[in-house]
Amino acid sequence: MNSSLSQRIRIVEENWLGLVRPHISKLFANTFIPSHDHTHHSRVWNICKNLLQKLEGFSSVADEDVLEGLLLASWFHDAGMVYDSGELHGALGKDVFERFIADSGAQKPVLYDDVLKVIALHDSKEPSLYRGIVPGKVPGMMGVLSIADDLDALGTVGIYRYSEIYLKRGVPAGELGTRILSNVRRRYSNICESCAAFPGLAASFLEDYILIEDFFNRYNQLMVFVKEAEKLQCGELAIINYINAFSVEAKVRPEDFLFQPGIASSGARVKTYFKKLHDEMESKAF
């Protein structure tokens, strides 16, 4: 008798998480990039599991080999960010995973070559990578990981993650909102295309997409009318200013923003956002 999806997930977690989790945590210990560190990898794996649970009964259930590969790809896909936060991080992440397998003494997963490919190519965000959810077929690792990675870039957490990495890359405040909106719209379009045969799945992510889109639309509108935007202490501009001051400059973790000086005296929208960010980061911690 075939084991259930939850049983298979438990087996691969028992086999790998004890090795993978501390390795990725240690890898990021001296690199401050909370938007893409071990906590992001943990959330992406959890999102992958939730996606597979939602797809159960719609597509064929992934076997242990696929689940094993998906777990490893989830936990290593952005590992290259330790060395380069730009376009090279996928290829560097593949190298990190190869060294991990060699140095840990762990047996190579059955789908080793596929895991290497997924890690190396995951950030290309080509629409073809998302075509992995087909009725009656086992979901492809690349498709599931791509959707899960994009879902972690939506909603309250997504606002922080996009802002942190774009500010870290030196994107000017005047371009920030437009650049983020362009990227997030493309990502959500890819998600919807991938889930075209299962429209209820894409619909369940719509609220988080609207939240981040509305946020940066308001940010862009404020940028047009407000002078000395970097000094604003209310609204969306203030939230971005605080993310820059706390995360990029002071290296405070996002779950601790709520307790930083200035937040208590900020406007209601600012305090509400950072309270939600704190709660979501805490609830999704691994």
CA angle 208, 209, 211 (to 5 degrees): 65
**Is residue 182 situated within a structural domain?**
no
CATH number at residue 59: 1.10.3210
Quote the domain boundaries for residue 10: 1-147
Q: Report phi then psi at 59, rounded to 5.
A: -120, 165
**Is residue 62 situated within a structural domain?**
yes
Q: Which of 243, 147, 140 is nearest to 193 (CA)?
A: 147
CB neighbour list of residue 271: distance below 8 Å, 6 or more residues apart:
263, 264
Q: What is the model's pLDDT at position 125?
A: 66
**Residue 271 C-beta-side C-alpha neighbours within 13 Å:** 8
Q: What is the model's pLDDT at position 203?
A: 84
Q: What is the model's pLDDT at position 161?
A: 95
Q: How far is CA 33 from CA 30, 36, 70, 128, in A?
A: 9, 6, 23, 29
**Is residue 265 situated within a structural domain?**
no
**Is residue 120 situated within a structural domain?**
yes
Return the number of other C-beta atoms located less than 10 Å from residue 59's C-beta.
18
Burial class (CB in 10 A: 0-12, 13-18, 19+), 225: exposed
Q: What is the model's pLDDT at position 192?
A: 86
Record the tokens describing residue 60, joined without a space. Answer: 């064929």
Alpha carbon distance 141, 144 (integer Å)? 5
Q: How many domains are there within the chain?
A: 1
Return the percent helix, strand and coil in the chain, to nearest 5.
70, 0, 30
Alpha carbon distance 223, 9 (integer Å)? 46
Is the distance from CB of 132 to CB of 197 less than 8 angstroms? no
Cα 216 off chain centre by: 18
Q: How far is CA 274 from CA 37, 55, 161, 211, 220, in A?
A: 19, 32, 13, 14, 20
Record the tokens describing residue 133, joined without a space. Answer: 């959810």
**Is residue 124 situated within a structural domain?**
yes
Alpha carbon distance 58, 52 (integer Å)? 10
Q: What is the model's pLDDT at position 102?
A: 94
pLDDT averaged per 10 residues in sequence order, the chain, 286 residues: 78 95 94 93 93 73 86 95 85 94 92 94 71 70 90 95 94 94 92 80 90 96 76 80 93 91 84 92 70
CB neighbour list of residue 58: distance below 8 Å, 6 or more residues apart:
135, 198
**Is residue 4 situated within a structural domain?**
yes
Alpha carbon distance 24, 210 (integer Å)? 32
Q: What is the model's pLDDT at position 64?
A: 87
**Is residue 56 situated within a structural domain?**
yes
| pTM reported for the whole predicted model | 0.90
**Is residue 75 situated within a structural domain?**
yes
